[in-house]
Structure 1
Amino acid sequence: MGKLKEKYFKQGIAEYAKRLSKFCKFQIVEVPDEKAPESLSEAEMANVKEKEGERILDKIKDKEYVFALEILGKERTSEEFSKELEQLTTYGHSDITFVIGGSLGLSPQVIKRANTHISFGRFTLPHQLMRLVLVEQVYRAFMIQQGSPYHK
C-alpha cells in the first residue's frame, strides 16, 4: 500500500532490486492507500481496509502464491524463509507475491486469499521500512541458497 516518498528507502530498495535481478524477475506493484482521517470509528476502519483490500486483490492473479505480511503471521528464521522459497519455486510456485498492508493492516479478504502469513516480529513498522526489510530478506534467502557468505 502507498508510495515510497523517502529517497533513502528508494535507494535501498533499488540496490536490492538490482541484486535480485540475478535470481528472479522482481517487481514492486504499488497500490494507492485510502485517504482517511487520524481518528476513525471501527466501521470506518473496516471500510478503509475493505477498499484497500479490493485494490490489492485486483492486482493478484489466481496462480500467485501469496505471503501476507501481518503481525500475527508465523515468524521464520532467515534460513527457514530461504528454504520455504526454494521449496515453493521447486514445486511449481514461480509467481510469489508479498503483500504489505496500509497503516490499518490488511483486510480480512486479503488475509483469506493469502496462502501463508508471515511476521517479521511483533514490532509495528512503517510500510516503507517494511518494504526495505522484506526486499533485503528475499535477497538474503537467495544468498543462503547459493551458500554465499553474505548471510554470515
Structure 2
Amino acid sequence: MKITILAVGKLKEKYLVQGMQEFIKRLKPYCSLEILEVSENALPEKFSTAQLQEHLEIEAQKILKLVPERAYMFLLDLHGQQLSSEALAAQIDGLTNNYSQFVFVIGGAFGVGESLRKRADYRWSFSQLTFTHQMIRLLLIEQVYRAFKISKGEKYHW
C-alpha cells in the first residue's frame, strides 16, 4: 500500500520535523510513504474574497496535478466528517480491495479551493478545534500509523 501526504507549504518547526521523522520510521513496515509539499501561493496583506478564492484555486490546481487519478483522496477539511481512530482504520481496510494508494491532502493556512473539495473521495475533519496546517501534519501521520496498528491488532502506546 502506498500512502502520500500532500501538503501546502514547508514544515518549518524543528519539533514537528522530528515528530514526522519518528512516524515516517514507524510506518516503514506497514506502507510505502511519500510526503509531497507544494509551495504556498502568496496573498497580499489585505485581500478581497475574490483574491482569496483565486489564491485557493491556484493551490488546489498545484495539488490536483500530484494526485494520481486512481488514488483514494482524503481531504482534511474543517467542514468534513469526523472519524475515530478505529473508524479510520476500518475505512482504510474496507477500501484496500479497490485502492492501493491513499492520498491525504492538507491545504494551506486559508483552506482549500472548491475543485479540491470536488475531487476528494472523503472530506475529513480532525476536530472542531482549529490546528495550524503545520501541526496537523504530525497529527495526521500519527493517526495513519495508529490506523495500521489497529488494523493489525497490535498494541499502540506512545
Q: 1:5-60 CA distances to partner (integer Å, 9 max, x unpaired)? A: 11111110011011111100011010101011333210010010011011001111
Structure 2 unpaired stretches of 5+: 1-7
TM-score, normalised by the number of residues in structure 1: 0.95
* Distance apart, 1:68 and its partner CA: 0.6
The residue correspondences of 1:94-105 to structure 2 (distance < 5 A) are: 94-105=100-111
TM-score, normalised by the number of residues in structure 2: 0.92
Instruction: Please point out which of 5, 15, 19 is paired with 1:12.
Output: 19
Q: Which runs of 4+ in 1 moved over 6 A?
A: none
The residue correspondences of 1:1-152 to structure 2 (distance < 5 A) are: 1-89=8-96, 91-150=97-156
After superposition, the CA RMSD in angstroms is: 1.2
Paired residues in the alignment total 151
Higher strand share: 2
CA contact (8 A) 1:71 1:123 kept: no
Q: Indicate the percent of aligned positions where both proteins have the same amino acid.
A: 41
Higher helix share: 1
Q: 1:121-151 CA distances to partner (integer Å, 9 max, x unpaired)? A: 1122111100000000000000111212216
- Tell me, what secondary structure is at the counterpart of 2:134? helix
- Tell me, what secondary structure is at the counterpart of 2:34? coil
